[in-house]
Amino acid sequence: MRRDRFCVVVFGREPVPGRSKTRLAAGMGGTAAARIYAVILQNTLDVAAASGARVILSLASVPSGAWIRDFDVSLELQPPGDLGDRMADAFSRRFSEGEERVMIVGSDCPYLSAEHLRGAAVGLDDFDVMLGPAPDGGYWLVAQRAPGVDLFSNIPWSSHNTLLRTQQRLDAIGASWSILEELGDIDTADDFEAAIHDPRTPGELARRLLKALKVRTLER
């Protein structure tokens, strides 16, 4: 297994006012929430590229032609089904293409770094699965090495015990696993405020997020 080769699949969606980040929009307005999400999504793609990985943007719905012209990464559409079905499909596609180490990340974590991704890739030398825990009981990353395992069966999604149930599933099927640093994302106005002042958020990203927030005044 080549230590310098891995693939990152970013799960995301087109930033559309009124449909993107609805919990964030409740406190900041739909346009500001969509613009904030656009900034975080682009940062996630930049971080993934900086890690040296092959990067794929996996979209939950068909995007507009104007929006996708701004991206120079590979794009694909997620199939119907719940989150587990869609992640299982992403892993299956990558392994069928010959990738040996594959990770899926969310698109709204401002603390994500290239070092986190490279660390997950190295961890797959010793473990079948790597998990990046989130404060809400889910995870910001799940990574597997080929050929992969059936780890998404009977997992409650968007639950406070999603991570725990995934760990229990891995134990039940005899798969080895390890966890990375806990990282949060931006789902609410409070999350946004915390990210702006958190030293883990790169300064340039914080400035871009604050600039995106300014459109809130135009919605009033």
The CATH number of the structural domain formed by 7-215 is 3.90.550.10
Mean pLDDT of 30-35: 92
The encoded tokens of residue 190 equal 């409070």
- Cα 71 from Cα 132, distance rounded (Å): 26
Output 69 or 42, whichever has higher pLDDT.
42
Indicate whether 118 pLDDT > 60: yes
Indicate whether 35 pLDDT > 70: yes
Nearest Cα neighbor of 2 from 105, 88, 98 is 98
Mean pLDDT of 183-208: 94
Mean pLDDT of 191-215: 92
Indicate whether 67 pLDDT > 60: yes
Nearest Cα neighbor of 94 from 162, 4, 3, 5 is 5
The encoded tokens of residue 13 equal 């969606």
**Residues 6 or more apart from 189 whose CB is under 8 A from it?**
24, 26, 27, 28
Kindly report whether the peptide bond that precedes residue 63 is cis, defined as omega within 30 degrees of 0. Answer: no
- Cα 112 from Cα 32, distance rounded (Å): 22
Where are the alpha helices (H) located in 126-188, listed in sequence order? 162-172
Indicate whether 218 pLDDT > 50: no
Indicate whether 220 pLDDT > 70: no
In one-letter notation, the amino acid at residue 137 is: G
The pLDDT of residue 215: 63
Mean pLDDT of 63-72: 80
Indicate whether 184 pLDDT > 90: yes
pTM above 0.85, yes or no: yes
The pLDDT of residue 216: 55
Where are the alpha helices (H) located in the chain, listed in sequence order? 22-28, 30-50, 65-68, 83-96, 114-123, 162-172, 189-197, 203-213
Indicate whether 104 pLDDT > 90: yes
Indicate whether 177 pLDDT > 80: yes
Indicate whether 65 pLDDT > 80: no
Q: What percent of the chain has pLDDT over 70?
A: 95
Nearest Cα neighbor of 32 from 202, 201, 184, 23 is 23
For all residues of the chain together, what is the average pLDDT?
A: 92
Burial of residue 171 (number of CB atoms within 10 Å: 0-12, 13-18, 19+): exposed
Mean pLDDT of 91-118: 97
